[in-house]
Amino acid sequence: MTATSAVHAGRITTNPTPPIDLSATYHLPGVDAGGESYAELVAGRGPTAEGGLVYQRMWNPTTAGFEQALAELEGLPEAVSFGSGMAAISACLLAATAVPAAGGKRHIVAVRPIYGGTDGLLSKGTLGTEVTWVDEVAGIAPALAARPDTALVVVETPANPTARLLDLDAVAAACGDVPFLVDSTFATPVLQQPARHGATLVVHSATKYIGGHSDVLGGVVATTAEWAARLRDIRIQTGALLHPLAGYLLHRGLQTLPLRVKRASETAQTVAEWLARQPAVERVHYPGLPGGDPDGLVGPDRQLLLPGAMMAFEMRGGYDAAAAVAENVRLILHAASLGGAESLITHPASLSHRNVAPDARPDAGLLRFSIGLEDAEDLVADLDTAFAKL
Active-site residue, 319 included: no
Measure the CA–CA gap between 283 and 182, rounded to whole angstroms: 26
Name the active-site residue from 115, 209, 248, 286.
Answer: 115
Q: How far is CA 190 from the centre of its chain?
A: 13
Name the active-site residue from 106, 208, 232, 283.
Answer: 208
**For residues 141 and 378, is the Cβ–Cβ distance under 8 A?**
no
Measure the CA–CA gap between 100 and 32, rounded to whole angstroms: 27
* Angle of the 376-388 helix axis to the 244-276 helix axis, nearest 10: 60
In which region does residue 52 sit, left (phi positive, over 0), alpha (psi from -120 to 50) or beta (all else)?
Answer: left
Measure the CA–CA gap between 275 and 134, rounded to whole angstroms: 30
Active-site residue, 38 included: no
Measure the CA–CA gap between 159 and 329, rounded to whole angstroms: 25
Active-site residue, 115 included: yes
Q: What are phi and psi of 194, to 5 degrees?
A: -60, -25
**For residues 68 and 10, is the Cβ–Cβ distance under 8 A?**
yes
Active-site residue, 105 included: no
Name the active-site residue from 11, 21, 45, 57.
Answer: 57
DSSP state of 197: G
**For residues 153 and 96, is the Cβ–Cβ distance under 8 A?**
no
Q: How many residues does the chain have?
A: 390
Measure the CA–CA gap between 385 and 364, rounded to whole angstroms: 22
Name the active-site residue from 183, 293, 363, 382.
Answer: 183
What stretch of H or E contains 198? none
Q: Residues near 46 by Cβ (< 8 Å), separated by ≥ 6?
A: 40, 59, 64
Residues serving a catalytic function are: 57, 115, 183, 208
